[in-house]
Amino acid sequence: MSEQRSNAFLIEEKPGKLMRKYAVPCIISLLVAALYNIVDQIYIANADYLGSFGNAANTTVFPMTVLALAIAVMIGDGACAFVSICLGSRRNEDAGKTIGNAVILTVASSVVVTLLYLLLSEPILTLFGGKVNAETYALAKEYFFWITVGMPFYMFGQAMNPIIRSDGSPRFAMISTLAGAFANILLDWVFIYPLHMGMMGAAVATVIGQIITALLSIWYMFHMRAVKLERKSFGLFGNLMKKFLALGITSFLSQASLVVSMAAVQNACTRYGALDPIFGQEGLTQIPLAVLGIVMKFFQIAISISVGLSAGCIPIVGYNIGAGRKDRVRQLFTYLLASEAIIGLIALVIVEVFPRGLIGIFGAANESQYYTDFAVRCFRIYLCLMPLAMVNKGTFIFLQAVGKARESMLLSLMREIVFGVFLPILLPMVFALNGVLYSFPVADFLTFLFSFVIIFRTYKELKQ
């Protein structure tokens, strides 16, 4: 088989088999990537000298890693989709130039993000509730500094991961992420417990893991299987940048709008937590923010599966669209929606039946009963419409892959900006702290009503 036809199996193998082949490594990669922050929070929560104060600090910093991720996936997912289309239509040179430009953009943007985070750390932490009390702010500031230092490595690894998948190597993309995560898990324990390095130790362990992933990604750039990178691939090609960034803009808006939603939710949580008769007491003010962060981390695990299922389909969809095989794309869409709904139902059962076990992982034994009680309530209310949340997310990404960037962008913005910002502002006015919890499922339900219409139209178009 010639180098140009090395990915031709994407229009020959059964869609279901291809989905498993690409989605499973992608899911594992995303789950492992999610573990970076989750493992930090588990270790922090169970360290008696950090506890819920450290957890609240971690929650404060988390949105800024999501914002950096938004830029990385805009470049990586956009390049992944466009490279797949180029390979499907036998334009290998354009595929190489796209990857070269993606590398340049990732490095440049990561340096800018790092500088901005270092210069604006105080207003950023304040925006996301870091000043809920003095101890939380001090821990958040320490954690944020070291996470920011490692931001270029984090963004590079995240941007290259989908590009590696588009080259036909989903397994290597998974391995590179796994290697970094395992290092993080081991070093977290060493730095936080025996060495007693606190929030700095948690952050440094994360950064070392990200460096490992980035170095493996660089190695792969020199050993690509379907695309050959040459010196000319790293010139600046404005026409190609415009095309692949347009395909990735939905991924950016999906993540960036999530940050805006987080700001609204975390500020509402801090504000109405301070007005609560229990959590307004000294020494308890950080609990709602800490618990909300934990629940968000569990949701991140579930949504990583959702995104992995749909993102794993991007190279398959792009190649088949380029080859004119819409019938296969429609079949893949059916498999995706069914899988998203099933995974969402499984996650829903877990949060509704085992909330005490979940919060127990995050240091509940070291906290007051109020911590556990609020966590149970938060799990059961905040995540009660997980199946719809996962179908929505899968739909956003799949629409992007088939070239419906506008519809995908509008749905994503509606979920995170319109519903994700205004509901956390409006509902607490009536339901106080519980209103913050109600805002999440209500937003998912309203978004699904619009997603259903777009799904129906997409099926009709793919059938034609």
- Percent with pLDDT over 70 in the chain: 94
SS3 22: helix
Amino acid in the structure at residue 441: P
d(CA 67, CA 113): 9
Q: Which two tokens stand for residue 311?
A: 């993102």
Residue range 421-428: mean pLDDT, rounded:
93
Question: Mean pLDDT over all residues of the chain?
Answer: 86
What pLDDT shows up at residue 282?
A: 80
Judged on CB neighbours under 10 Å (0-12, 13-18, 19+), 403 is middle
d(CA 357, CA 376): 10
d(CA 165, CA 170): 4
Judged on CB neighbours under 10 Å (0-12, 13-18, 19+), 6 is middle
Residue range 1-28: mean pLDDT, rounded:
68
pLDDT by residue (tens digit) across 305-320?
888 888 777 778 877 7
Q: Which two tokens stand for residue 373?
A: 């009680």
CB 187 within 8 A of CB 209: yes
* Closest to 61 measured CA to CA, from 252, 296, 248, 284: 296
CB 41 within 8 A of CB 294: yes
- Give the residue, 205 or 309, on which the prediction is more confident: 205
- Give the residue, 40 or 264, on which the prediction is more confident: 264
What pLDDT shows up at residue 2?
A: 43
d(CA 443, CA 264): 13
Hey, what's the torsion of the CAs at 207, 208, 209, 210, to 10 degrees? 50
What pLDDT shows up at residue 1?
A: 39
| pTM for the whole structure | 0.79
Q: Is the pLDDT of residue 5 over 60?
A: no
Mutual orientation of helices 151-166 and 51-88 as an angle, nearest 10°? 40
pLDDT band at 83 (very low <50, low <70, confident <90, very high): confident
Residue range 272-282: mean pLDDT, rounded:
88
Residue range 443-453: mean pLDDT, rounded:
95
Q: Is the pLDDT of residue 23 over 70?
A: yes
- Give the residue, 437 or 168, on which the prediction is more confident: 437
Judged on CB neighbours under 10 Å (0-12, 13-18, 19+), 35 is buried
Q: Is the pLDDT of residue 3 over 60?
A: no
Q: Which two tokens stand for residue 223?
A: 């050993």
Q: Where are the domains of the chain?
A: 32-463
What pLDDT shows up at residue 6?
A: 53
